[in-house]
Structure 1
Amino acid sequence: MKTASIILALAFSVFLFCGCGKEESDNAPSQWVNNIEELKQLNQGKITITQGIAGTLTLIEGNCMPIIGPNSTCKEYPVKRKLAIYPYTTLQETVQHEAAFYTINAEPLMEVETDAEGFYQTKLSPGTYSVFIEEKGKLYANGFDGQGGINPVHVDEDVVESLNLRLNYAVY
């Protein structure tokens, strides 16, 4: 009986700390937790392109309900992920799996990986694109326009468009 209790306690501990629901490689760099505006300013200084998109990818998790006192578990921090850029894509062109996860029956125009501070940049020709975060073998996006376009961004000639993305696992 005692052995069964120990095994159950160990299994519960593994469940609590497994990172279930999001990729296990997320370790919040303490200097950036909830200090996102300063992080975005730092990343703006890294831009080396003259046309395309650039920005910061962050992950938000925990209980983000308004809480009185210091007991909030809500935290936001930069993460490393691969971003997939597609031509402008609407909801009708995807298969939605759950909340904000999609698959698309097409290849992305390009992929780019964020760095440890969530920074990314990529050159793009003028046009309108949809940007997805690769997560759990699917494509994550939580932004839309009024025409059903998913995470749209429009690139003009000789302009770097700022597109900050948020991977949201928080409870509200």
Structure 2
Amino acid sequence: MNLWTLSLKKMLKLQTWSLSLLLSFWACQAQKSNTNQSQNQKAVDCTYSIKEGIAGRVLWREGNWMPAPDAPERNAPGIARDIYIYELTTDAQTEKEETFYTAIHSRLIAKTRSDANGCFEVALPPGRYSLFVKEADGWFANRFDGEGHIQPVEVKAGEVSKLELVVDYKAAY
């Protein structure tokens, strides 16, 4: 190879590397901008009227949620979603494809919908229940107890069990 060909190859390699670096920086800035928009929502206090049952918020997380020492405090925005309350359910009572449940073979107890802030409430008698959030691809749940129950919640007599349902299948931790 002559000197000209060698210099041209080095120059092309440097340009490719520079372009990759620039694209990576641009993608990080775009992700940071999108993430900050959705994560810097003000915390919402929901008000509830029920005396016994389940109440809480449905929150949306996507993008980078990796903890960092210099990262600002983030609040996931609330979202409107249908919430299905089943009798306490185990994995063996469901069918699942990757992230989403496609069938739930336990008894449906109630269904409710969260408002635009993610707030929801449903009056229920004392008992143990499993909650699923309906998404386009199926039902979503991401909490389990040590006994294999999916997103378990216990309602005690005369009490409201409060919880956050975090829909985070598009988030990275």
TM-score when normalising by structure 2: 0.70
Greater helix proportion? 2
Closer, same or farther in 2 for the Cα pair 1:157/1:76, shift >3 Å?
Answer: same
Unaligned residue ranges in structure 1 (runs of 5+):
1-27
Q: Which amino acid aligns with 2:166?
A: R
Q: Which amino acid aligns with 2:119?
A: F
Displacement of 1:137: 4.1
Closer, same or farther in 2 for the Cα pair 1:137/1:34, shift >3 Å?
Answer: same
Q: Which residue number in structure 1 is paired with residue 149 of structure 2?
A: 149
1:135 lines up with 2:135 in the alignment: yes
Closer, same or farther in 2 for the Cα pair 1:64/1:125, shift >3 Å?
Answer: same
Is the CA contact 1:131–1:141 (under 8 Å) kept in the aligned structure 2? yes
SS in 1 for 2:77: strand
Closer, same or farther in 2 for the Cα pair 1:66/1:51, shift >3 Å?
Answer: closer
* Identity across the alignment (%): 32
Displacement of 1:138: 1.1
Moved more, 135-144 or 117-126: 135-144
Q: Which residue number in structure 1 is paired with residue 51 of structure 2?
A: 50
Closer, same or farther in 2 for the Cα pair 1:102/1:144, shift >3 Å?
Answer: farther
The structure with the largest alpha-carbon Rg is 2
Aligned counterparts of 2:56 and 2:69: Cα–Cα separation in 1:
32
- Give the superposed CA RMSD: 2.5
TM-score when normalising by structure 1: 0.70
1:1-172 superposed matches below 5 A = 33-35=39-41, 38-39=43-44, 42-43=45-46, 46-66=47-67, 76-106=76-106, 108-168=108-168, 169-172=170-173
Aligned counterparts of 2:88 and 2:107: Cα–Cα separation in 1:
13
Closer, same or farther in 2 for the Cα pair 1:170/1:137, shift >3 Å?
Answer: closer
Q: Which residue number in structure 2 is paired with residue 5 of structure 1?
A: none
Closer, same or farther in 2 for the Cα pair 1:117/1:147, shift >3 Å?
Answer: same
Is the CA contact 1:134–1:140 (under 8 Å) kept in the aligned structure 2? yes
1:150-170 CA distances to partner (integer Å, 9 max, x unpaired)?
Answer: 000000110000021100021
Displacement of 1:108: 1.9
Closer, same or farther in 2 for the Cα pair 1:143/1:102, shift >3 Å?
Answer: farther
1:39-72 CA distances to partner (integer Å, 9 max, x unpaired)?
Answer: 2xx11xx1100000000110001122345767x9
Displacement of 1:110: 1.1
Aligned counterparts of 1:106 and 1:160: Cα–Cα separation in 2:
23
SS in 2 for 1:77: coil
Aligned counterparts of 1:122 and 1:90: Cα–Cα separation in 2:
22
Runs of 4 or more off by more than 6 Å in structure 1? none
Unaligned residue ranges in structure 2 (runs of 5+):
1-34
